[in-house]
Amino acid sequence: MSLVSRKIYPIVILLLGALPLMAQNLTSFSLEEAVNYAYDQSVDVKNARLRVLDAEQQIIERRSTGLPQLSADVNFQRYLQVPKQPLPEAFIQFLESLNPNGEVEREASFFLKNNFTAGLNLDMMIFDGTYFTALKAARAFREYTAQELITTKRDIRSSVIDVYLPVLQLNKNIELIDKNVANLEKLLRETKALYEEGFAEQLDVDRQQLSLNNLVVERENQIRRRETALARLKYIIGYPADEPLEISEDIEEMAVEVAEGALTDAVNPRTRPEFVLTEEGIDLQELNVKVNKAAYLPSLNAYGGYQQAYQGNNFKDGFWAPTANVGLRLSVPIFDGFYRKSQVERARIGLQEAQNQQRDLQRAINLEVTNARNSYLNAMEALEGQRENLELAERIYETTQIKYREGVGSSVELTQAEQSLFQAQSNYTNTLYNVLSAKMDLQMALGN
């Protein structure tokens, strides 16, 4: 072994040993794994989760308005120039009568330079007709946002399915093309051997070479299309664009028949998260009506306070003046220019609109399920026909190959059989895709 070989050989061994480790870094997703990954990465799902957390804080915020509110106030004020007020004329005359020969001040100050006040204030709601209804509305809104999160996830799942299935089909196309390429390469070698022995013409070799070249070009085309489809899949699920990604499922394994009940059971719209979302919306609108009606009721609040006030020209000879008070505050709505009446009417209109939307959604769900069932049945029927056609095309191709090898068949017949087989394979994979797509649409329509 030369010196160069001795240096290169360990590097080759090291690279070959690293291949399994490199292969482990390739991420492979099943459909469910891709959906779950999208749930974690989707901005829409993240924002929906944040809205749930915000709704929980709104419950705390609303509940706090019914709890006692305690606050402290501290205020200090120093007069740089003490304000004065004029004395009444009668009082001035009285002072002049006491001191006829002296000068009498006609103004007096009733303030001291330093004023300090500290106090506690307590305010507590005793009765408010809107409080408990609004608290129920806040809790209902939390349920609404939770259902909205489920609906958002369903939309994300639908988007992932739409970009995952084409990759499955392209993988199947490439698998079939690889099989055909291997078969044509073998046949081309045999034809060349026959040509060299004088049992075949150059035209036969050229026809086989042309078919092989076309398949190689089509394979490259399918690979590029798969790269484009994988790029779309990465984008939808939030996967890094520069990281390798493969899918782990097979289109034939996924295109299994659905459960019998999926085609015969009565449609239950509540299995659809968007229908449940309309129910939550109706509950919110009903509570909105109640809240606006409750605004007609009076509200009663209790309050109290304690205060210490200090006054003095300095902080030694001043005085403290304590103050304490309690009271009740009753507010009775009498006339507001029909403002509350319009609010109640608007809430009722919103409720009717939500109910109309729910009825329309129910009709749309029934229609969607019916169409999905019909599409699935049609796709399954077409799949059976295309499977029979593929088996027939394979038998014809195999028979034609045998005849060609035995010298009783022409290259034209072989080429025609090849084209028929390729077309049958293409039709079969397209129908597989249609079946799987119809199956996924049916499951989505049924809320599964």
Give the model confidence (pLDDT) of 11-30 as tens digits.
433 443 443 434 445 689 99
Q: According to the model, what pLDDT value does residue 254 have?
A: 86
Provide the mean pLDDT of the chain. 87
Taking residues 338-348, what's their average pLDDT?
93
CATH 1.20.1600.10 in the chain: give the residue spans. 27-66+128-297+334-445
Of the candidates 156, 149, 150, the residue with the CA atom closest to the CA atom of residue 50? 149
Of the candidates 280, 286, 58, the residue with the CA atom closest to the CA atom of residue 151? 280
Confidence band of 190 (pLDDT split at 50, 70, 90): confident
SS3 265: coil
Encode pLDDT of 28-74 as tens digits.
Answer: 999 999 999 999 999 999 999 999 999 999 999 999 988 999 999 99
User: What's the gap between Cα 253 and its chain centre?
Assistant: 29
Taking residues 80-92, what's their average pLDDT?
79
Q: According to the model, what pLDDT value does residue 26 have?
A: 62
Pick the more confident residue, 411 or 224.
224
Distance CA 69, CA 425 (A): 76
- Beta-bridge partners for 125: 301
Between 250-259, 331-340, 366-375, the lowest mean confidence (pLDDT) is in 250-259
Angle between helices 339-405 and 273-294 (to 10 degrees): 180
Distance CA 436, CA 171 (A): 14
Distance CA 19, CA 16 (A): 5
**What are the b/e assignments for 325-340, b being 16+ CB within 10 Å?**
eeeeeeeeeeeeeeeb
SS3 67: coil
Confidence band of 91 (pLDDT split at 50, 70, 90): confident
Encode pLDDT of 361-411 as tens digits.
Answer: 999 999 999 999 999 999 999 999 999 999 999 999 999 988 888 878 788
DSSP 58-105: HHHHHHHTTS-EEEEEEEEEE-SS---EEPPHHHHHHHHHH-TTS---
pTM: 0.80
CATH architecture of 27-66+128-297+334-445: Up-down Bundle (1.20)
Residue with tokens 């729910």: 358
Q: According to the model, what pLDDT value does residue 13 have?
A: 39
Q: According to the model, what pLDDT value does residue 204 have?
A: 86
Taking residues 289-313, what's their average pLDDT?
90
Taking residues 398-425, what's their average pLDDT?
88
**With 80 as the cut, is the pLDDT of residue 435 above it?**
yes
User: 3-state SS of the chain: helix, strand, coil percent to 5?
Assistant: 70, 15, 20
